[in-house]
Amino acid sequence: MPMTVIVTRDVEDRYRGFLSSVMLEIATGVYTSPRLSTAVRQRVWAVVSDWHNQLHRGSLVMTWRDPEAPGGQQVSILGEPARNLVEADGALLVKREKI
C-alpha cells in the first residue's frame, strides 16, 4: 500500500469533506495517505470522477507508487489544464503543446 497523493484545484467543498474522511489534508487542497489500499484508492477516484463529470469544475491529480509503471508511479488527472504524460527513457514527462 504505497503513498497516495491527491491535489485539488478550484473544486467544490464536497471534495474537501470527502477526501478528508479518508486522507490527511497536509496543505489546502493537498491530500496524502501512506497506506491507502488499491481498492480504497480506486473507490475514492471513482467518487471524485463521478462528481467531476457532473460538475465540470476544477481539477484533480492523483499519484501513487507503482513499480510496474514508467518512472515507478501512476498519475490520474481530471480537469484543466490537461496534461499529456509521455514515457521517455523509463521516466514520465509532461508534454506541452506549443502555443
Main-chain phi, psi angles of 63, to 5 degrees? -135, 150
What is the tens place of the pLDDT at every residue in 55-91?
A: 999 999 999 999 988 888 898 989 876 667 777 777 7
Residues above pLDDT 90, as percent of the chain: 65
Q: What is the pLDDT of residue 82?
A: 60
- For the four alpha carbons of 22, 25, 26 and 29, in that order, the dihedral sign comes to positive
CB 7 within 8 A of CB 61: yes
Q: Taking Cα atoms as reference points, which of 60, 45, 50, 80 lies closest to residue 11? A: 60
Distances in Å between the Cα of 39 and the Cα atoms of 22, 29, 36, 91 are 13, 22, 8, 26
Instruction: Work out the mean pLDDT of the chain and round it to a whole number.
Output: 88
Domains of the chain, earliest start first: 4-95 (3.30.70.240)
Alpha-carbon distance of 96 to 62, in angstroms, equals 19
